[in-house]
Amino acid sequence: MTDFSGEPSGSHAQRQHWLSILALAPCATLEQALQQTLTVCEPPPLGWLRKPQSGLYMVRARAGGTGAQFNLGEASVTRCAVQDDSGRIGVGYVRGGNARHAELVALFDLFLQNDESRPQLLATVIGPLAERQAAARETASREAAATRVNFYTLARE
Amino acid sequence: MYVAVKGGETAILNSHELLAAARRGDEGVPEISPAQIREQMRLGVARVMSEGALYDEELAALALKQAAGDQVEAIFLLRAYRTTLPRFGYSLPVDSGRMNIRRRISAAFKDLPGGQVLGPTYDYTQRLLDFSLHAPAACKLPPCADEPLPAAMPRVADLLGHEGLMEAELPPAGDPAPGDLSREPLRFPADRATRLQNLARGDEGFLLAMGYSTQRGYANSHPFAGEIRMGEVALEIVPEELGFPIAIGEITLTECQMINQFAGSSTVPPQFTRGYGLAFGEAERKAMAMALVDRALRAAELGEEVVAPAQQPEFVLSHSDNVEASGFVQHLKLPHYVDFQSELELLRKMRKRHEGRKKVSVTEGNPLFGTGGKAHTEIAVGENA
């Protein structure tokens, strides 16, 4: 399993990591990164395995945070899948309704599976995005920490 | 005499246009955008997402704009929209223990690990109208502490759990998939998972009133806000084409753990029991009310006497949904011309009968004159009149 703050583990860890980073990235940033990527490497012939499609995932939670599962409510999700001529599949899943975002995630997922382009993309796209997301999270946490109450005791004279 | 008629088409079309103009208001004032609503009316957006049972800030903001700020109407729009989308699947249970916390307080423990973190709250504002908001002004960057909050913020409920003073919340054997009210109708008896789903999409005002009633004595509950936390959690799913979990974004949640006294039973020693509230977005009042009502609805399960409305699942769960409630109340506006015609006919008949009865009562039915041994004359006369 993976989350945005922790280090992923397991055999799919790396792919889980970049998919989560891409899903949280601003669409415009990914669009820019794609244009840059295309100037340095020729993309393979691509086809749709699944065109962008919007739908719902039911969000589950647990009673008391740790108990029995219950259905909290749905979240809109957009997904798509692209395939290159070698049969490799790039998958894009994003929360929300932005089809282009899902496409960009799928494209990068595909490129990142290619051993030749992976190191470059991890360094120039995923790494900086991950850093920016971690920094934003830290800022939010420090802003919250500034509202932490420091109790003090009034001593009787 | 009323008769069934067709018509109203033009009237309805014109009313749509009038509604659009009314929604827009004075064209001298700049039009509001859904993005502005999403960013600057986030608590309103959160309520629409919670009760619309669909997490999507863009759609909720659009619904609020379309509904001219009418929350229940916006919730209805969101519920209607969701029926047009396919269901891809179910997420993994969100883990509020791994929340990126922006607010976390406890009214039960002063010195809890991680501390009391107020976050962006209205609690300590003075509720004086701020006239400076009339004019746009640049917002200062909020203060930043040198260090972020600790990575792990233990749940308050878990602190007491070690001593056995707090009932444990553990998944039942096999961790079964819960029932889903968005697919199956509500049936009784409703298990806790079904109740929690119903409450999560329930009307905040209704839950607030029901929760309030438990505090005022309509159910014997002595709650403490054990913990309230708000922040972002990862939304994780297992896509069919991958077969392993991935995080596909974040959602903001507000969670409330209410702690309640419990005298114990023949099998369970006295301990604290819990009520749980969880809501999309920043929705503290909703989460607290939900937790109070969740606990009240556990009365039968805990062997407590069911004496108050908030403890009755049929009453609470059948009336919590504002889309259903609003629909049934507002359907009274639909043409009931034929129904009303029959009521009118009936009323005329009854009045005629009443008139006849009056004449009879003056002569024979008046107790002053006695009935003359004819006990049921009135009814007989009335019916024949």
Q: What confidence score (pLDDT) does residue B364 get?
A: 56
pLDDT at B4: 58
Distance CA A84, CA A110 (A): 8
d(CA B163, CA B168): 11
Q: Which two tokens stand for residue B334?
A: 């639909």
Domain that holds residue A91: 13-130
Residue B363 — very low, low, confident or very high, per pLDDT cuts 50/70/90? low
Q: Is residue A51 part of a domain?
A: yes
Asked if residues A23 and B250 have their Cβ atoms less than 8 Å apart, the reply is no
Contacts of B158 in chain A (CB under 8 A): 66
Residue B356 to residues A107, B349, B370, B375: CA-CA distances in angstroms? 86, 11, 19, 17
**Reported confidence tier of residue B165, pLDDT bands at 50, 70, 90:** confident
Give the B window 194-223 contacts with A, CB below 8 Å.
194, 196-197, 200-201
| Cβ pair B52, B63 in contact under 8 A | yes
Nearest to B147 among A5, A95, A142 (CB): A142
What are A72-92's pLDDT values in tens digits?
Answer: 999 999 999 999 999 999 999
Q: Is the pLDDT of residue B34 over 70?
A: yes
* Pairwise pLDDT comparison (B156 vs B58), residue with the higher score: B58
Q: Would you state the pLDDT for residue A4? A: 41
Chain B residues touching A71 at Cβ < 8 A: 90, 178-182, 193, 197
B169 to A141: CB separation less than 8 angstroms, yes or no: no
Considering only CA atoms, which of B48, B49, B85 is closest in space to residue A97?
Answer: B85
Q: How far is CA B116 from CA B44, B108, B262, B282, in A?
A: 26, 11, 26, 17
What residues of chain A lie within 8 A of the CB of B194, using their CB? 70
pLDDT-based confidence at residue B225 (cuts at 50, 70, 90): very high
In this prediction, residues B231-256 reach a mean pLDDT of 96
Closest Cα to residue A4, out of A114, A136, A115? Answer: A136
Residue A40 has a pLDDT of 81
Higher pLDDT, B165 or B158: B165
Of A105-119, B191-205, B352-366, the least confident: B352-366
Is 90 exceeded by the pLDDT of residue B118?
Answer: yes
Residue A87 included in any domain: yes
The predicted structure's pLDDT at residue B130: 93
User: Which contacts (CB < 8 Å, 24+ apart) does range B347-352 have?
Assistant: B352/B385
pLDDT of residue A91: 97
Q: Which residue's entry shows tokens 């001529």?
A: A85
Residue B156: in which H helix or E strand, if any?
helix B156-161
Q: Give the pLDDT band (50/70/90) at residue B373.
A: low
Residues of A in contact with B117 (CB under 8 A): 144-145, 147-149
> With a CB-CB cutoff of 8 Å, which residues 102-131 of chain A face chain B?
none
How far is it, in rounded angstroms, from Cα B71 to Cα B78?
A: 11
Band (pLDDT 50/70/90 cuts) for residue B8 is confident
Query: Which position has the token pair 């040198």?
Result: B146
Q: What is the mean pLDDT of residues B116-133?
A: 95
pLDDT band of B162, cuts 50, 70, 90: confident
pLDDT over threshold 50, residue B380? no
pLDDT of B215 above 50: yes
**Cα-based angle B212, B215, B219 (whole degrees, multiple of 5):** 105
Please tell me the distance in Å from B92's CA to the nearest CA on chain A.
6
Give the per-residue pLDDT at B372.
54
The residue of B248, B252, B282, B298 whose CB has the most chain A CBs within 10 angstroms, and thus the best one to mutate to test that interface, is B248
Q: Is residue B50 within 8 Å of B201, Cβ to Cβ? A: yes
- pLDDT tens-digit map of A8-23: 445 699 999 999 999 9
How high is the pLDDT of residue A5? 40
Eight-class DSSP state of A9: -
The model's pTM: 0.90
- Find the mean pLDDT for residues B305-318: 96
Tell whether A140 is covered by a domain.
no
Could you tell me the pLDDT band of residue B368, with boundaries at 50, 70 and 90? low
Cβ-based neighbours of A3, under 8 Å, separated by 6 or more: A20, B95, B98, B234, B236, B247
For A17-66, how does the pLDDT look when each residue is reduced to its tens digit (9 = 90+)?
Answer: 999 999 999 999 999 999 999 888 777 889 999 999 999 999 999 999 99
**What is the Cα B364 distance to its own chain's centre?**
59
Provide CB contacts within 8 A for B175, sequence distance 6+.
A68, A69
Q: Residue B361: its pLDDT value, please?
A: 57
Q: Is B98 on the interface with A (CB under 8 A)?
A: yes
Please tell me if residue A155 touches chain B, with a CB cutoff of 8 Å.
no
Q: Which position has the higher pLDDT, B377 or B237?
A: B237
pLDDT at B26 over 90: yes
At B5, the pLDDT band (50, 70, 90 cuts) reads low
Q: What is the pLDDT of residues B40-75, one digit of tens each?
A: 999 999 999 999 999 999 999 999 999 999 999 999
Arithmetic mean of pLDDT over chain B:
90
The predicted structure's pLDDT at residue A3: 40
| Residue among B59, B249, B87 nearest A102 (CA) | B249
- For B34-92, the three-class secondary structure string (H helix, E strand, C coil) is HHHHHHHCHHHHHHHHHHHCEECHHHHHHHHHHCCCCHHHHHHHHHHHHCCCCEEEECC
Q: Distance between CA B38 and CA B32 in Å, rounded?
A: 11
Which of these, B339, B343, B344, B380, lies nearest to B360 by C-alpha position? B380
pLDDT digits (tens, 9 = 90+) for B282-294: 999 999 999 999 9
